[in-house]
Chains A and B, each alone.
Chain A
Amino acid sequence: MALVTFTKKGIYCRQGDFYIDPWLPVDYAVITHGHGDHVRFGNKHYLCHTLTGPIIRQRISTDLQVETQDYGKTVTRNGVKISFFPAGHIIGSAQVRLEYQGEIWVISGDYKTEYDGISTPFEPVRCHAFVSESTFGLPVYKWQKQDVIFNQVKSWIADNRQRDKTSVLIAYSLGKAQRLIKNLAGDMPIYVHNSIANLNEALEQAGVHLPETIRITADTRKEELKSGIVIVPSAMRNSRWLKNLSGPVTGICSGWMQVRAHRRWQSADAGFALSDHADWPGLLEAIKATGAEKIYVTHGFTATFSRFLNENGFDAKEVITRYGDDEAEIKLDTPEKTTNQELTN
Chain B
Amino acid sequence: MKRFAKLIQQLELSNKTNDKIEALVHYFNFTDDKDKVWVIALFTGKKPRRPVKAALLRQWVKELTQLPDWLFTESYHNVGDLSETIALLLPPAEQLSDHPLHQWIESLHELEGKDDEQKKQFILHAWNSLEPQERFIFNKLISGNFRIGVSNKMLVNALAKQSNTDSSQIMHSIMGKWDPYQITFQELIQGVHVNTDNSWPYPFCLAYALDTEPEKLGAPDEWQAEWKWDGIRGQIVKRAGELFIWSRGEELVTEQFPELWFLQDMLPDGTVLDGEILAAKNRQVLPFSVLQQRLNRKKISKKQLEEAPIGFFVYDLLEYQGQDYRSQPLSERRKKAEELLSALDDDSPVNLSPIISCSSWGELAALRETSRSVNSEGVMLKKRDSLYHSGRKRGDWWKWKINPYTVDTVMIYAQKGSGRRANFFTDYTFAVRDGENLITIAKAYSGLTDQEIREVNTFVTKNSLEKFGPVRTVRPELVFEIAFEGIAASKRHKAGIALRFPRILRWRKDKNVSEINTLTDLQQLLQSTLEQPGDETN
Q: Which residues of A contact B (CB under 8 A)?
A: 138-142, 258-265, 269-270, 301, 304, 307-308, 311, 331-332, 334, 336, 338-340, 343-345
Contact = CB atoms under 8 A, between A and B. Distances in A.
Interface stretch (B25-33, B65-73, B389-397, B435-443): B65-73
Given A261-B420, A261-B422, A308-B71, A140 B450 contact: no
Contacts of A331: 423
A260 B89 contact: no
Contact of B449 (A138, A269, A340): A340
B75 interface: yes
> Nearest 10 CB-CB pairs, A to B?
A261-B422, A140-B88, A340-B449, A264-B420, A140-B75, A261-B80, A343-B450, A340-B450, A304-B74, A259-B79
23 contacts: A139-B65, A139-B71, A139-B88, A140-B85, A141-B88, A259-B78, A259-B84, A259-B88, A259-B422, A260-B136, A261-B79, A261-B80, A262-B422, A262-B423, A265-B424, A270-B13, A308-B71, A311-B68, A332-B454, A336-B451, A340-B449, A343-B450, A345-B15
B186 interface: no
Contacts of B12: 260, 263-264
A344 B89 contact: no
A233 B424 CA distance: 23
B81 interface: yes
B421 interface: yes
B322 interface: no
Contacts of A343: 450
A261 B88 CA distance: 13
B455 to A, nearest CB: 10
Contacts of B75: 138-140
B14 interface: yes
B421 A265 contact: yes
B529 interface: no
Residue of B16, B74, B136 with most partner-chain A CB within 10 A: B74
B184 interface: no
A264 B421 CA distance: 9
A327 B74 CA distance: 21
Nearest to B84: A260
Contacts of A304: 71, 74
Nearest to B80: A261
A139 B76 CA distance: 10
Q: Which of A139, A140, A258, A311 has the most CB of B within 10 A?
A: A140
Contacts of B74: 138, 301, 304
Nearest to A308: B71
A189 B190 CA distance: 51
A335 to B, nearest CB: 11
Nearest to A259: B79
Chain B residues touching A, range = 20 to 34
Contact of A138 (B78, B81, B421): B78
**Most interface-central of A265, A301, A343 (chain B CB within 10 A):** A265
Contacts of A139: 65, 67, 71, 75, 88-89
Contact of B423 (A261, A338, A344): A261
Nearest to B131: A144
A308 B68 CA distance: 9
A140 B135 CA distance: 14
A262 B422 CA distance: 7
B80 to A, nearest CB: 5
A230 B449 CA distance: 31
Contacts of B420: 261, 264-265
Contacts of B67: 139
A258 B421 contact: no
B418 A261 contact: yes
A259 B420 CA distance: 10
B496 interface: no
A262 B70 CA distance: 22
Contact of B419 (A138, A142, A261, A311): A261
A169 to B, nearest CB: 15
With a 10 A CB-CB cut-off, give which of A261, A263, A304 has the most chain B CB atoms. Answer: A261
B450 A264 contact: no
Contacts of B423: 259, 261-262, 265, 331
Nearest to A271: B13
Interface string B398-425: 0000000000000000000011111110
Contacts of B424: 265
A342 to B, nearest CB: 9
B395 to A, nearest CB: 25
B16 A261 contact: no
Nearest to B418: A261
Given A141-B88, A259-B78, A336-B451, 12 more contacts: A140-B78, A140-B89, A259-B423, A260-B84, A261-B419, A262-B422, A265-B424, A301-B74, A304-B74, A334-B454, A340-B450, A344-B15
A16 to B, nearest CB: 34
| Residue of B71, B421, B454 with most chain A CB atoms under a 10 A cut-off | B71
A261 B323 CA distance: 48
Contacts of B84: 259-260
Nearest to A344: B15
Contact of A260 (B65, B68, B71, B81): B81
Nearest to A142: B88
Contacts of B81: 260-261
Contacts of B71: 139, 304, 308
A261 B14 CA distance: 13
